Amino acid sequence: MNNILTVAITEFKRMFNSPFAWSVLAILQFILAMMFLTRVDEFVASYQQQIATVENSPGATFFIVSPIYLWAGIIMLAVMPILTMRSFAEERMNQTLTLLRSSPLSSAQIVLGKYLGILLFVTLFVAMLGLMPLAISLGTEIDWGMVATSSLGLFLLLASFAAAGIFLSSLTSQPVIAAVSSFGLLMFLVVLYLSGSSQSNSSELFIYLSHFSHFETFVRGVIDTSDVLYYLLFIVGFLVLTVRKLDNDRLLG
Amino acid sequence: MSNTALNTSVLIQATALNRYYGDYQAVSDFNLTLNKGEILGLLGPNGAGKSTTIQMLTGNISPSSGEVFINGISLIEQPESAKSTIGYLPEQPPVYRDMTVSEYLIYCAALRSISKPQRKNMLAEASERCGLQDVHNKLIGNLSKGFQQRVGIAQAILHKPKVVILDEPTVGLDPIQINQIRQLIRELGEDHAVILSTHILPEVQAVCDRVQIINRGETVFSDSFDKLADRQSTSEVIVSFANDVDVSLLNELSGVEKVEALTSQPNQSRYQISYQGNNDTADIFQLAVKQDWNLLELSPQTETLEQIFMNLIHSESASKLESELNQESAAKKPEARDE
């Protein structure tokens, strides 16, 4: 356990050794803040008057905060592969993976360490996103329960992106290939969602398989255990595959 | 741990290691026993299977068959505890370019479960041994190749492992550093077991107690270095004289097999003298003085690693030729096995 934490914390720190993590966080925060601002403007200009007269209407959280969490998930489709490509592909390319491989760590400890490192980054990102509803809570009443479920949902969604990305990163020694293939896989799941929910031939199965359908319930303020389970299975599945891949490298590589 | 109680001094024991990449056999029947206080030089031409062997001994890849015991612990059954007693420097130092030297070494210490208060001491000791005191707070990526190599060595000896395995440790170092590192390896050899893989013959001569030579995955020689020198069938001396000489007198010296003229300029004559077995150059010197030939040069030809390989491989294959031919034709192995 100590070893896992050592790897995780060092991985997390290393992201901030280069301008990489700083620029990713800064750009994400800037873009999401701009979107947030647009939503706030829109809300003040039009929705506010409309819902003022409606009994039991959805409030500012529904109109402003939820869409930001959805957008954050969509943007991370492109960003997460860049974060995860480093974990194994880049180490292989720089031939630094030998350090971890010859240290007294099992493959599972290496994978979990690296994965936890990325989860720390994800946590930081979700926390920074939480600053936005906090900012407007000065002027209006925020449904904190909904913010909490959205944060949890976003965290699980990004954790599933990371697990898939780490697996694809373990398959190759080319970071770019790792990033492109992770992006491809994540987009494929989005395509499943789009095709599953198309009007002509909708498919329950396709919708179930895509991770965004499970994210939506969280953003609506609902925690459904089946959705939580979906993400956990997704994460565990890809992490087990990654561990197997590393073990296989010893046998075949 | 029961094995360690029986024979405490055996630190590495590898028996019948085989490794296949698909159909290609990279290492075949590799055996090694290394005691505490021994330094083994692992030699071989490119693609001989040195790196594969070293990777198997450090647990980076698994052998297709065979067993490795590090300090009595099976590397295959208990890889984690066996690995904690190994320090390994791969061909390419596994350093993170975006970390500073001290950050990196502290991380390495933590990976090997060194307790926090001890890490600083170990960092100080290892960086002193490898001459890294002045670059502690520099990014590894900004260091020269030689310094990166030193960081790699520091990483391997940091946790005072019982077994130190170094894959070409002096690549990219300046002569002074090479000397320091050789000194360091000799020091390590006193209370550790050290395996050194290298292409540089003088390095093996300088530090190693034993040599193991691998060719095409097979061990062709495994003994002390003196024995290796004894096995050479011929040795050569180049001599040149200012005056004309009588070649037949040179031919009559004891042990001389062949005298070959290299240049035939009017005022200088240069010869290559081939000896059977080890030579005694004093004979030539005395002869030159007696005959007043004015000896200008007398340089024993040190054999290059390639020549030693060629000799060894030649003598090995001569004895094995027949059986090998039979095997190869039976197995219909591909002929081109350069790598």
ipTM of the complex: 0.86
Q: Report the pLDDT value the prediction gives residue B269, as an integer from 0 to 100.
A: 78
Please determine, for residue B23, whether its predicted confidence score (pLDDT) is greater than 70. yes
With bands split at pLDDT 50, 70 and 90, how would you rate the model's confidence at B79?
confident
**Whole-number average pLDDT of chain A:** 89
Weakest-pLDDT range from B15-19, B139-143, B304-308? B304-308
Complete DSSP assignment for B158-194:
TT--SEEEEESTTTT--HHHHHHHHHHHHHHHHHSEE
List chain A residues with CB under 8 Å of B107. 6, 10
- Is A98 near chain B, with CB under 8 Å? yes
Q: Report the pLDDT value the prediction gives residue B198, as an integer from 0 to 100.
A: 82
Instruction: Pick from A11, A98, A100, A102 the residue to mutate for testing the B interface (most B CBs within 10 Å).
Output: A102
With bands split at pLDDT 50, 70 and 90, how would you rate the model's confidence at A202?
confident
Q: Report the pLDDT value the prediction gives residue B334, as an integer from 0 to 100.
A: 47
- Residue of chain B with shortest Cα separation from A16: B98
Record: contact B80-A14, CB cut-off 8 A? no
Q: Report the pLDDT value the prediction gives residue B162, as an integer from 0 to 100.
A: 87
Q: Report the pLDDT value the prediction gives residue A50, as an integer from 0 to 100.
A: 75
Please determine, for residue B39, whether its predicted confidence score (pLDDT) is greater than 50. yes
Q: What is the pLDDT of residues B270-311, one digit of tens each?
A: 888 877 765 667 778 888 888 888 888 887 776 665 666 677
Q: Report the pLDDT value the prediction gives residue A65, as an integer from 0 to 100.
A: 86
Please state whether beta strands B210-215 and B218-224 pair in parallel, antiparallel, or not at all (unpaired).
Answer: antiparallel
List chain A residues with CB under 8 Å of B98. 14, 17-18
Q: How far is B114 from chain A (nearest CA, A)?
A: 11
* N-term to C-term CA, chain B: 38
Q: Report the pLDDT value the prediction gives residue A227, as an integer from 0 to 100.
A: 92
pLDDT: which is higher, A179 or B3: A179
Q: Mark A213-235 as b/e (b = at least 16 C-beta within 10 Å).
A: bbbbbbbebeeeeebbebbeebb
The Cα A57–Cα A192 span in angstroms is 32
Please determine, for residue B127, whether its predicted confidence score (pLDDT) is greater than 90. no
Complete DSSP assignment for B10-44:
EEEEEEEEEEEETTEEEEEEEEEEEETT-EEEEE-
Please determine, for residue A31, whether its predicted confidence score (pLDDT) is greater than 80. yes
The Cα B76–Cα B70 span in angstroms is 10
Q: Report the pLDDT value the prediction gives residue A56, as an integer from 0 to 100.
A: 67
Q: Looking at residues B249-261, what average pLDDT do you find?
A: 78
Q: Report the pLDDT value the prediction gives residue B152, as an integer from 0 to 100.
A: 92
Q: Report the pLDDT value the prediction gives residue B330, as an integer from 0 to 100.
A: 52
B112 closest CB neighbour out of A7, A18, A104? A104
CB neighbour class for B167 (10 Å; exposed up to 12, middle 13-18, buried from 19): buried
- Residue of chain B with shortest Cα separation from A95: B94
A14 closest CB neighbour out of B90, B99, B110? B99
B96 closest CB neighbour out of A14, A104, A253? A14
Q: How far is B63 from chain A (nearest CA, A)?
A: 7
pLDDT: which is higher, B209 or A180: A180
Please determine, for residue B1, whether its predicted confidence score (pLDDT) is greater than 50. no
List chain B residues with CB under 8 Å of A17. 98-99
Record: contact A102-B99, CB cut-off 8 A? no
- Is A216 near chain B, with CB under 8 Å? no
Scanning A58-97 for CB atoms below 8 A from B yields 94-97
A106 closest CB neighbour out of B80, B96, B111? B80
Q: Report the pLDDT value the prediction gives residue B321, as an integer from 0 to 100.
A: 54
Complete DSSP assignment for A78-132:
HHHHHHHHIIIIIHHHTT-HHHHHHSS--HHHHHHHHHHHHHHHHHHHHHHHHHH
Q: Looking at residues B37-58, what average pLDDT do you find?
A: 85
- Is A17 near chain B, with CB under 8 Å? yes
- Residue of chain A with shortest Cα separation from B94: A96
With bands split at pLDDT 50, 70 and 90, how would you rate the model's confidence at B5?
very low
With bands split at pLDDT 50, 70 and 90, how would you rate the model's confidence at B230?
low
Q: How far is B84 from chain A (nearest CA, A)?
A: 5
The Cα B261–Cα B252 span in angstroms is 16
Q: How far is B145 from chain A (nearest CA, A)?
A: 14
Residues of B with CB under 8 A from a CB of A: 58-62, 79-81, 83-84, 86, 88, 90, 92, 94-99, 107-108, 110-113, 155
Please determine, for residue B133, whether its predicted confidence score (pLDDT) is greater than 60. yes
Record: contact A95-B94, CB cut-off 8 A? yes
Q: What is the pLDDT of residues B321-338, one digit of tens each?
A: 555 555 555 554 444 444
A103 closest CB neighbour out of B90, B98, B111? B111
Please determine, for residue A144, whether its predicted confidence score (pLDDT) is greater than 80. yes
Q: Report the pLDDT value the prediction gives residue B338, as an integer from 0 to 100.
A: 43
